Structure 1
Amino acid sequence: MLRQILIQTPVYVWAILAFLVYRGMVASKDRLVNYPSVFIIPAVMLVLGLQSITRGFGLETLAGAAWLAGALIGAGLAYTFTGPITVDRAAGVVMQRGSWLPLTLMMAIFCCKYAVAVTVAIQPALSGEPRFAVPVCLAFGLFNGIFLGRLMRTVAAWMMSSTIARYAA
């Protein structure tokens, strides 16, 4: 059965996995990043998460509400617990500290999406079952929220550096 699942997995899924692993490895090292680039991974992960929820469960359902609740909780936690962020607004860069958290989150999201897709392909009725849909969507929301909270923290640091620079001049 596992062999059949792997064979029937579209090739683009493996390309997405390779991209996520690559980006996760890059994120494990300290680096200077152009400010617009900090939006890429959170945006990709948000699109993937919303796509899963919309296609599999619907945004206007209890599952959609669970996703939103998870996203709010995850964003709040990440915003609160993300350490200081160094920005150089004049150079247009953000110093991103190396961390394995992005790779861990991306792999968790990928594995959850893959497992849910396989499960729903085998048992389509589960997508309408709240005992399945709500926890899945809550988990996706938490993952997406963590990316968004880290992004919000970076944007806040960027905006604060602009404010400080204006008042210092």
Structure 2
Amino acid sequence: MLQQIVSHTPLYVWFILAFLISRGMAASADRDVTMRNLVIIPAVMLVLSWLDINNKFGFDGLVAAGWGIGALIGAGLVWRNFDSGSISYSAASGAIRLRGSWLPLALMMAIFCTKYAVAVLLAVLPAARENSLFVVAVCIVFGMFNGAFLGRLACQMAVCQRAIGTVRA
């Protein structure tokens, strides 16, 4: 059955996996980024999540509430545990220095694997779309992943804003 699942996976899915792995590997090394580049991955993951949820379940009622609750939980966990020493801002160059982290790769792989597993499950058991508990659970999990990205971005932006405020004062 595993061979059937893999062989029926569209080719573009493997390209997405390769892209996510390359971005995650890049995030594992210290690097300088612009504010715009800091936003790209969280924004892409957010849009992909919303599109996927909408295509699978629609995006209203319990679905939106589940995603929102999950996003708040994920953002809150990251906000609470964020290491502000992992980022610094250079006012002279306008560059943001990020310490390498494996967290983005782990999050992207978790999202990919969850999306893949849900897609396979819905292909094998299409009636699962009608199971409210399943739908809400999936949406909470996707929300938590997105919340983690958004929470990390919010923490990074807060550190940058404090640094900019310190330079101006």
What's the TM-score bracket when you normalise by the shorter of the two chains? over 0.9
The answer (yes or no) to whether the contact 1:89–1:158 under 8 Å persists in 2 is: no
Which structure 2 residue ranges, 5 or more long, are not aligned? Answer: none
The one-letter code sitting in structure 2 at the alignment partner of 1:139 is: V
Please say if 1:108 is aligned against 2:110.
Answer: yes
How many residue pairs match? The answer is 167
Distance 1:88 1:59 in 2: 40
- Comparing 115-124 with 84-93, greater Cα deviation is found at 84-93
Aligned 1:79-158 pairs, distance under 5 A: 79-84=79-84, 85-158=87-160
Q: CA deviation at 1:26?
A: 0.9
Q: State the TM-score, normalized to the length of structure 2.
A: 0.93
Q: CA deviation at 1:89?
A: 3.1
Match in the other structure for 1:47: 47
Distance 1:16 1:23 in 2: 11
Match in the other structure for 2:57: 57
Identity over aligned residues, as a percent?
Answer: 52
Q: CA deviation at 1:71?
A: 0.4
- Comparing 145-154 with 54-63, greater Cα deviation is found at 54-63
Q: CA deviation at 1:94?
A: 1.2
Q: State the TM-score, normalized to the length of structure 1.
A: 0.93
Q: CA deviation at 1:80?
A: 2.2
Q: CA deviation at 1:64?
A: 2.1
What are the superposed Cα offsets for residues 8-33 of structure 1, whole Å, 9 maximum, x if unpaired? 21111111100000011111111112
Distance 1:120 1:33 in 2: 39
- Comparing 18-27 with 43-52, greater Cα deviation is found at 43-52
Distance 1:115 1:64 in 2: 20
- Comparing 105-114 with 23-32, greater Cα deviation is found at 23-32
Match in the other structure for 1:160: 162
Q: CA deviation at 1:61?
A: 2.6
Q: CA deviation at 1:3?
A: 1.8
Distance 1:120 1:83 in 2: 38
Q: CA deviation at 1:155?
A: 1.2
The one-letter code sitting in structure 2 at the alignment partner of 1:154 is: Q
Q: CA deviation at 1:49?
A: 1.1
